[in-house]
Homo-oligomer: A and B are copies of this chain.
């Protein structure tokens, strides 16, 4: 197979056309991954989450890695990796604009989750309704595409 490196623009375009990736964070040397729905806009990756281990860890250590791929086979895939920093969009005047943008961006897509989210049941109990909006800066981005010979 051939592996080509994507340009920064091609990597960002791939992010812009994607909705689902995997996000990793780290705490005391332990890495942790979760799947992550997101929307890319103007050098930032916007997402939301319920409060939990991922958010706790990212509040402690904002260094994050988002990886997004399309894998057709071992020899045919595209993968983009972002190293960035977690920035929580809390309810303050300063971040109100970014928070509204996150809401607007995420709402545009079919995965908008509110109807399901409010009825989420885990361990037999309704999950607390505690959405956390955040964005990731893009400190480094790289992308590769593999094609079979």
Residue A71 lies at the interface, judged by CB distance under 8 Å to chain B: yes
Say whether chain A's binding surface is mostly helix, strand, loop, or mixed. Answer: strand
Of B22, B65, B66, which one neighbours A30 at CB under 8 angstroms?
Answer: B65
Give A8 Cβ to nearest chain B Cβ, in Å. Answer: 16
User: Taking the full assembly, how many copies of this chain does it contain?
Assistant: 2
Give A50 Cβ to nearest chain B Cβ, in Å. Answer: 10
Q: Give the interface of A toward B (CB within 8 A).
A: 1-3, 5, 20, 22-26, 29-35, 37, 61, 63-67, 69, 71, 73-75, 77, 79, 81, 83, 111, 113, 116-117, 119-123, 127, 144, 148-149
Given A3-B121, A33-B81, A35-B67, 7 more A-B residue pairs with CB atoms under 8 Å apart are A1-B121, A2-B120, A24-B31, A32-B83, A34-B81, A37-B74, A116-B149
